Chains A and B, each alone.
Chain A
Amino acid sequence: MPANATTSDGALQQFLLALADDELVLGHRDSEWTGHAPILEEDIAFSNIAQDEMGHSLVWYALLEPFTHKTPDQMVFERDWREFSCCRFVTYPKGDFAYTVVRQFLFDEAERLRLEGLTESSHFGLKEVSGKLLPEERYHLIHSKGLVERLGDATDESRRRMQDAVTIAFPQALGMFEILEGEDELISGGIFKGNRVLQAQWLENVLPVLESVSLRAPVSRTNGSVAIACTPDYGGRRQDHVPHLRQLVEDMQQVYRSIPGATW
């Protein structure tokens, strides 16, 4: 990392922290299905995905270490909830299974596209790590997309629940693309293509899947171009969070904080 040290270090830190915190927090929410999913196999699948996402966060926290001088454990267990940079989207409660499936799909597609873009990054660490994480993320996407395509078009109840989930999750999901402070430096340095480009690619990919099973997202189309017809749920990247994150972080840190520094 020091080999890449430039004026964009601050922006790079912001970017890495956003990636790490998104994966950690969504991984935690997914883990809340362990023992509660409607189908045994999905229980196991979501527990696996939860561990995968947390594993990804570990990789990003490790890339941050030269800047923060904090170990991944310290980043996860010793920070105040108001210091997290995850988007609000990943902090909301797990909801019903339809919401979880829709959230996971919208997240997985964004992550897959972001990682694919980063395999061409000028930043060696990002390039290397994204190539490593990509195959696993593609598998997550096959799983969540497969569930969207099946549940979106199965029974009256599944259709209703999936549509409700899309209506709620879509504006939240746009929060993933909230512009980071100093993002222009990342773009001009060839480190990251930027959240505007990423969001456009994401819309191109998620909308046809939702539409294929008649799920309606709050967007409008005029002359082939897509316009967002809802208010994106921004704030997370500026560490302006909803209280659900406080509850999640308290749960996550409870054991660690009871005996700080303990090992087992």
Chain B
Amino acid sequence: MTDTQWETYEVFHQTRRGDAHIHVGCVHAPDPQMALHLARDQFARRLRCSSIWVVPTRELTASDYQDESFFSQATDKSYRDPKTFGAPDKLDPHAS
């Protein structure tokens, strides 16, 4: 079905300064400034928010779901995964 609305912008939301921006959805808008304001209305009025990004959907380059070989592994590479030892959540600079 053809989308008769404005073009879409992907919306990224940051809860606190320093956190990663997380994709939360998209909005229709005629240009980036309006996209930012409409994203504020939809995603930042109830959630705590320190910053939002909007990116035109057409600017995203995405992998193709049909092309399964894109992610396939020819040989077993599990030995490369760091799964046999644990790492602490935070490093203690004073540990001896």
On A, residues with C-beta under 8 Å from B are: 39-42, 44-45, 48, 139, 142-143, 146, 150
Contacts and interface: CB of A to CB of B under 8 A. Distances in A.
B19 interface: no
Which interface residue of A40, A41, A44, A139 has the most chain B CB atoms within 10 A? Answer: A41
Contacts of B5: 39-40
A98 to B, nearest CB: 15
A146 B34 contact: yes
A41 B28 contact: yes
A45 B27 CA distance: 12
B6 A45 contact: no
B16 interface: no
B27 A41 contact: yes
A39 B6 contact: yes
Contact of A41 (B29, B31, B45): B29
B37 A142 contact: yes
B42 interface: yes
Contacts of A143: 37
B30 A41 contact: no
B28 A146 contact: no
Nearest to A41: B38
B75 interface: no
A42 to B, nearest CB: 8
A44 B42 contact: yes
B49 to A, nearest CB: 13
A39 B6 CA distance: 8
A45 B28 contact: no
A150 B29 contact: no
Interface string B28-67: 1111011001101110010000000000000000000000
A40 B5 CA distance: 8
Nearest to B29: A41
B62 to A, nearest CB: 23
